[in-house]
């Protein structure tokens, strides 16, 4: 059982590293919503009632879901590490 948990721990660490790289990439390709105070002053109002989700909305959704997955796996890694460590 101990070796299974050790292998699972290693797999989850690898998956978390890949998700972290994915998060860095997906955040880097997103466009800035505003440029400091300039975006706050005189910004355009956007309707909350849009049709299909556009590129930015999809990227935001992927970012949110990937971050939730990343932190969920990180918690599991911490719990497994605690159990394996004693």
Q: Average pLDDT per run of 10 along the chain, which is 86 residues long?
A: 91 97 94 59 54 81 96 97 85
Long-range CB pairs of 9-17 (<8 Å, 24+ gap) are: 9/77, 9/80, 9/81, 9/84, 12/73, 12/76, 12/77, 12/80, 13/77, 15/73, 16/70, 16/73, 16/74, 16/77
pTM comes to 0.73
Q: 63: which residues sit within 8 A by CB, 6+ positions away?
A: 23, 26, 27, 30
* Contact by Cβ (8 Å): 53, 61: yes
Q: What is the pLDDT of residue 32?
A: 75
Tell me which residue has tokens 């909350």.
48
The confidence score (pLDDT) of residue 42 equals: 55
Structural element, H or E, at residue 66? helix 55-85
């Amino acid at each position: 059982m101990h070796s299974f948990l050790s292998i699972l721990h290693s797999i989850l660490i690898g998956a978390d590293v890949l998700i972290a790289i994915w998060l860095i990439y997906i955040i880097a390709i997103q466009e800035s919503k505003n440029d400091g105070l300039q975006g706050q002053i005189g910004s355009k109002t956007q309707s909350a009632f849009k049709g299909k989700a556009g590129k930015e909305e999809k990227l935001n959704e992927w970012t949110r879901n990937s971050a939730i997955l990343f932190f969920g796996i990180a918690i599991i890694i911490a719990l497994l590490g605690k159990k394996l460590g004693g």
